[in-house]
Amino acid sequence: MQRIINFILNYRNAVLYVVLTLVSLIITIRSHSYHQSKFFNSSKRLTGAVYGISHTVSSYFDLKKENKILVDENQQLRLQLFNLRKEGPLNEQPGKATYTVTHAQVIKNSYTSPRNYITINKGEKDGIAQDMGVITPLGILGIVENTSSHYATVQSVLNTKSNINAKIKNTNYFGSLVWDAQAYDVVQLVDIPRSASLTVGDTITTGAMSSIFPENIPIGVIQQYDLNQNQSSYTINVSLFNDMTNIKNTYVIKNKDREEIMELQKSTADVE
Amino acid sequence: MLSNPILINSFRFVLLVIVQVLIFNQLNLFGFVNPMVYVLFFYWYPLRNNRPLFLLISFFLGFTIDLFSDTMALHAIASITLAYARPVLMRFCFGANYEFQGFTFKSTTRLQRITFLLLLILLQHIIFFTLEILSFSHILLILKKIVFTSIATLLLCVLLSSLFARELD
């Protein structure tokens, strides 16, 4: 016993180094395999608050530009609204809507690492929960991963763990949207069957298989496509509509039917 | 006023974290270069120190930056490795006499100091980016990131260290 203690004392620096490295590796590998670490992320009280303060200062610098973007979007929405009214009475019972939308602002963005997360300034108190979709006026942004009472982190589409159902606009060919960590303005759409006819410039939107995003939210356009190695399906490079380097206003989408859908799918899978 | 090494180092800790997180993590030069200036902490830390304490401080420095940048514990691993390897790097750069009582940073040449800084930066970046991407098929991406980010970090660190030059013990 004495010897063991002496040994540890003699090599205490090495032991400490190994222990700390192991702790870090465990934290890292655990969050690699599944969700981002629950306890250590930038939506937490201290980290969220620091980014919040920095955001209140820096948000003044581009107020004018952001206002212009919002006004443009309002104009677009008004246009759609008026056209809808013409066609028929609008369903104006908000209780019946499947999707609800919450506005949030980005307080921390990142796009250089292979696993990018964005922090937004709305949290549980505003009704944000894990697995809600996040979009910008231009297109999709990501999925809510962790929440604290006032902040939330979003797993960006620029994340190697991201996997979102997407399809080619106006068809029903669907595939998965993934990212190969190469360029921050290009993501990959895989598993589109060979029978689909593609053209460079076609629009890619979210698909109907996802219970997170509504169908037909724009993602980007086809930049280039290739058959994959076993020649059975296409791998498509999609150039994003969103400029991922410059995001401020976002909308968090809640699907009220998601729980029901998940439950149904789970019970079906259980029977098998 | 600021002569107490504990005070100086805690102040430096907080300041480097804030500067790293709020300024340099948002830089994104050329779309991917985010200099990691907090390496300066390991450059500036006193030569004679309590090693276990230094290892623990380094771990917390790395981990605090991890919390802010959502990088799990990658900065923490890089930081403790730097802290652990620091004596070896110092012996390599300054020769065996760095262990003597009378040795100070002042008695080293500029070239020696920059080599020391460069080695710290290279070691940190190699560990960080290799673990961050962790895939041999992305080896070119890893190398690209290591090379360009190291250059940017080195330039900034040299600038910052000459801006905030002080009596090094």
* Amino acid in the structure at residue B91: R
Positions of chain B with pLDDT under 70? 1-3, 101-102, 165-169
pLDDT the model gives residue A102: 86
Nearest Cα neighbor of A126 from A141, A148, A93, A97 is A148
The reply to whether B133 touches chain A by the CB within 8 Å rule is yes
Pairing outcome for strands A133-135 and A174-178: unpaired
* pLDDT tens digits in sequence order for chain A, 272 residues long: 788 888 888 888 888 889 988 988 888 777 665 555 556 666 677 788 888 888 888 888 878 888 888 888 887 787 777 666 555 454 555 555 678 888 888 988 888 888 889 999 888 998 898 889 999 888 899 999 888 888 999 999 998 888 899 988 888 888 999 998 888 889 999 888 888 888 888 899 988 888 888 888 889 999 988 887 778 888 899 999 988 888 888 889 888 888 888 888 888 887 76
Nearest Cα neighbor of B118 from B33, B13, B42 is B42
A187 strand-pairing partners: A238
Q: Given an 8 Å threshold on Cβ–Cβ distance, is A17 in contact with B84?
A: yes
Nearest Cα neighbor of A100 from A261, A254, A260, A252 is A254
Q: Distance of CA B18 to CAs A54, A113, B74, Å?
A: 10, 20, 18
Asked whether this complex has an ipTM greater than 0.85, the answer is: no
The b-or-e profile of A136-150 (16+ CB within 10 A means b, else e) is bbbbbbbbbbbbbeb
Query: A38: nearest CA in chain B?
Result: B72
Per-residue DSSP letters for A194-249?
A: TTS---TT-EEEE-TT-SSSPTT-EEEEEEEEEE-TTSSEEEEEEEESS-TTS--E
Nearest to A114 among B22, B33, B132 (CB): B132
Query: B144: nearest CA in chain A?
Result: A182
Nearest to B51 among A13, A25, A184 (CB): A13
Q: How many residues are listed for chain A in this entry? A: 272
Q: In whole angstroms, what is the distance from residue B52 CA to residue A14 CA?
A: 9
Q: Given an 8 Å threshold on Cβ–Cβ distance, is A27 in contact with B59?
A: no
Contacts of A42 in chain B (CB under 8 A): 67-70
The reply to whether A50 touches chain B by the CB within 8 Å rule is yes
Q: In whole angstroms, what is the distance from residue A111 CA to residue A158 CA?
A: 7
The ranges assigned to domains in chain A are 2-33, 38-272
Q: Given an 8 Å threshold on Cβ–Cβ distance, is A21 in contact with B81?
A: yes
Q: In whole angstroms, what is the distance from residue B150 CA to residue B126 CA?
A: 9
> Which CATH code, of 2.40.10.350, 2.70.240.10, 3.40.50.1860, 3.50.50.100, is assigned to A38-272?
2.40.10.350
The reply to whether B14 touches chain A by the CB within 8 Å rule is no
pLDDT the model gives residue A92: 53
- The dihedral sign for the CA sequence B2, B107, B13, B19: positive
pLDDT the model gives residue B147: 93
Q: In whole angstroms, what is the distance from residue A42 CA to residue A11 CA?
A: 35
Percent of chain A at pLDDT > 90 equals 11
pLDDT the model gives residue B169: 43
